[in-house]
Amino acid sequence: MASPPPPTIFAPARRRAMRGRMRVLERRPDAPRFLAEDMAEDVLDRLAFLRHHPQRALVVGDATGLLAEALTAQGCKVVRADPAPVAGELAIDEEQPLPDQGFELIVQLGTLATVNDLPGAMLHIRRALAPDGLAVMSLCGAGSVPSLRQIMAETDGDRPAARIHPQVDVRAGGDLLQRCGFAEPMSDSRMLEVRYSSLRRLVADLRAQGLGNCLARSGPLLGKAGLARAEAAFAAMADSDGRVTERFAILTMSGWSKALRPPKF
């Protein structure tokens, strides 16, 4: 019996528009890039620790280009891809088979957080790996933006609305790796903290890094009154310097194609 289709949590059209807006905003000299930079640097650290030196890699979502440039400098042939590609990148739909196979390294930076069929996307990644190939998948996971969650809860009051995406935790990430047949699965999380002087700056940073709302059934617009309540909630949370600390939990899942086990669905 065929498995039922995954639930539609995210709207594909809104997701593409969100990613496309991010690709435009990232061109600004002062664009926030701390999430993409942290993910790229972490992948390079992991590769150095594992002494994995791929000759051919697929890199998805490398908004800054840091990872692709570093791999290329090491002699790796890099194929860059993105759901909203710019010049030099392939267009990719993570819920469909990848455009090629036989990659010794596949890296996904940030984009898997908003796919409707995450197990399916991870299975496509595993199938596109060469024998002994490595996949590294990073995204904002459970525990991210707790301050904004609290602000929105206080803003909506007795009528809570869907405004922030559901998030994958470390345990679920490990389970997914095993289900999809990855060998030596590893799932871990680290926290980044950023201090903000205004709610508007916090929201602007999220949008500029592709973390806006692309839910299929999102809540109603706040309006002026709602925005005023949200800004008041932000001010109430601020420290003596007038700033609120926001946290971003970077979930990283990795696994090898050494054991080509069938997925457990």
In the chain, what is the greatest distance between 2 CA atoms, to the nearest angstrom? 60
Q: What pLDDT score does 3 carry?
A: 66
Mean local confidence (pLDDT), 76-92: 95
- Tens digit of pLDDT for each residue in 93-116? 999 999 899 999 999 999 999 999
* Spatial distance between the Cα atoms of 32 and 202, rounded to a whole number of angstroms: 11
* Spatial distance between the Cα atoms of 241 and 243, rounded to a whole number of angstroms: 6
Q: What pLDDT score does 99 carry?
A: 84
Q: What is the 3-state secondary structure (H, E, C) of 176-210?
A: HHHHCCCEEEEEEEEEEEEEECCHHHHHHHHHHCC
Please give the model's pTM, rounded to 2 decimal places. Answer: 0.92
* Spatial distance between the Cα atoms of 110 and 226, rounded to a whole number of angstroms: 29
Q: What pLDDT score does 159 carry?
A: 84
Identify the sign of the CA torsion 79, 80, 83, 85: negative
Tokens of 134: 């490595």
- Tens digit of pLDDT for each residue in 186-214? 999 999 999 999 999 999 999 999 999 99
- Tens digit of pLDDT for each residue in 136-188? 999 999 999 999 999 999 999 888 888 889 999 999 999 999 999 999 999 99
Which of 232, 235, 145 is closest to 193 using CA atoms?
145
- Tens digit of pLDDT for each residue in 3-29? 677 889 999 999 999 999 999 998 898
Q: pLDDT above 90 covers what percent of the chain?
A: 85
Instruction: Mean pLDDT check: name the lowest of 63-77, 100-114, 122-136, 246-260.
Output: 246-260
